[in-house]
Amino acid sequence: MRLNIPTGSRVLTGAPARPFQRTVIEGIARVVAETPGIVEAHLPLCLVEGVMASPAIILGCCDIFCVNCFGTLFGSGVRFFVFGEDVGSP
């Protein structure tokens, strides 16, 4: 699913109350580790106000072109992958 996130959107992140099972996290970690160019990855719970109907766990990956992942959250070099079917327009 591709989310269309307007500039200036409010993004809320945090730790999921029900994180993925350890085996799922380990599988995702293996895939990320085997992907050339990814230098950092996180699995936060995320809600983009006005874009997502409900929060979802996302995989945020920073590649070698991302100088500061948190300072340029939606900038060049940052890729997001959304898990779950509960993501969509309100």
Query: How do the domains of the chain map onto residue ranges?
Result: 11-82
Collapse the DSSP code of 31 into the 3-class scheme (helix H, G, I; strand E, B; otherwise coil) and give the result.
helix
pLDDT at position 6 over 60: yes
Helices and strands in the chain: count of H runs, count of E runs: 1, 5
Per-residue CA distances from 75 to 19, 38, 52, 79 (Å):
26, 15, 19, 9
Is residue 55 a contact partner of residue 82, using CB atoms and an 8 Å limit? no
Task: Output the six-digit token pair for 22.
Answer: 């350890």
Predicted local confidence at residue 65, as pLDDT: 63
Q: pLDDT of 7-38, one tens digit each?
A: 888 988 888 888 888 998 899 899 888 888 88
